[in-house]
Amino acid sequence: MTKGIIHKVHSLVFIALLLMVTVLTGCNSVKTQQTQSSSDNNNQTTSTTITPSSPSTSEPDSSATQAKTVKLTLYFPNTDGSALVPDQRTVEVSNQEVIKAIFKELSSPPSGLETPLPKGTILRSAVVKDGVATLNLSSQFRKNFGGGSDAEIMTIYSIVDSITNLPDVQSVQFLLEGQKQDGILGNLDTSVPLKSNSSLIRK
């Protein structure tokens, strides 16, 4: 009788232990699934967060380099140096470099007229401020000038009258290698800005 009771107790204890193991195993399985599910969710969130957006693009501002057509009236000395003769030209310029275009055109006179620029003259810079165009010329402008008061007037006012035709220029200040000169070519006062001299233009 006692052995039978002991056997039943052992059986109950075994069953109880088996149930506990089963319950614990089930809990661990649930926790593992929850942990894996949480990990998957985190991975998915991370993947969404680090997805790079397409790089933004911007169009370069081409207005600064866009060429435009400009009509110019240039004045060239006649062969005997007694008058300036107008010549109409149409050129394309960029970056508002109209004065540089004028100097380039003045070096190519039409047939029967003279260039006002002494050989080798370089326009180092041109700045327009408050209606004054300041021209910085290379030393060749004076060094290679042929001389004579009439030629001096024709040279200076060929440049001045051509540039003051621009709507934002009323006078021209000459510099030689960055320095003002009392008389850049000799006698004519160039220490101050010069205005147009229409009396020299052939009508």
* C-alpha separations of 102 from 28, 89, 99, 184, 196 in Å: 90, 10, 5, 20, 15
- pLDDT of the residue at 76: 97
For 122-138, give the secondary structure using H, E and C.
Answer: CEEEEEEECCEEEEEEC
- pLDDT of the residue at 203: 75
- pLDDT of the residue at 55: 38
Q: Which residues of the chain have pLDDT under 50?
A: 1, 3, 27, 29-35, 37-64
Torsion of CA 14, 19, 21, 26, to 10 degrees: 170
User: ∠ at Cα 126 (120, 127), nearest 5°?
Assistant: 165
- pLDDT of the residue at 24: 53
- The CA distance from 173 to 181, in Å, is 10
pLDDT digits (tens, 9 = 90+) for 83-99: 999 999 999 987 668 99
Residue type, 3: K
Closest residue by Cα to residue 177 from 128, 137, 145? 137
- pLDDT of the residue at 12: 62
